[in-house]
Amino acid sequence: MPIAPESHGGSAVLVERRNGVGIVTLNRPDALNAIDMAVRRGLTRACRDLEADPDIRTVLIRAAGARGFCVGADIKEFRQVESAVAARRVAPDIAYIDAVAALTKPAIAAVHGFCLGGGFEIALACDIRVASPDAVFGLPEVNLGLIPGAGGTQRLPRLIGSGRALDLMLTGERFGAEEALRLGVVSRLAPSREALDEQALALADAIAAKSPTAAAYVKEAVKNGADLDLAAGIALEKTLFTLLLTTEDRMEAAAAFREKRRPVFTGR
């Protein structure tokens, strides 16, 4: 997958737009894509730009370099935190995670190698995670006298259950790709590192070919419904289903079925 010249946050985050898919590349391979200010700003801008682009239907977040997706925060920045005032400046800065989570378009993380701390939290903010066999996950903040600070304590328990999440966060233990698949942290496991980008992009392409409105409503129903009781969640689902009945995309799907062809969705 080629790296595009379009950059956000200097060269720390790169963006390519291809056939309805926005490909975001974390690009600090020499630092194992550690999260510094340039990455935070770049990822925030990239996600907001792709969200606003009507031609983009799916977002794929990947990372440059052979060794890892992202090892989390750049420790050099934490060494500079020597006062409560400085700590307050660093601690709330999770706009980059919020920007990923705020995407109404399906977001996929393609994870290889180390995916730790804030890097894991970036992946958790995505809707779907695909991993290569060499992927290693973990939230090791407890080993540094900290806790996950970019959504990890909230998203991981919702994904795999509080007991298993607490086990991982309280021990700071790492786990591999097979265990991630078993736990449900990832939904697909590529056969090799070389096949990861191809498989993740194929998934992004497949989703981008669907009705973007229907895809957004699926995401809204699942994400918002998770915070509702069952009756309210089903009511939300019914409302969204009803809204889709009169869309041009729904009519196009019906026509394509009758005519035995692939539908061409426009998002209307």
**180's tokens:** 């991630």
- What is the rounded CA–CA span in Å between residue 257 and residue 110? 33
- What is the rounded CA–CA span in Å between residue 132 and residue 259? 39
- What is the rounded CA–CA span in Å between residue 195 and residue 243? 38
- List the one residue out of 245, 213, 194 whose CA is nearest residue 66: 194
% helix / strand / coil in the chain, to the nearest 5? Answer: 50, 15, 35
**Residue of 121, 173, 194, 220 with catalytic role:** 121
8 A C-beta contact, residue 17 and residue 2: no
**Residue of 141, 173, 179, 259 with catalytic role:** 141
121 is catalytic: yes
Catalytic residue numbers, as ranges: 121, 141
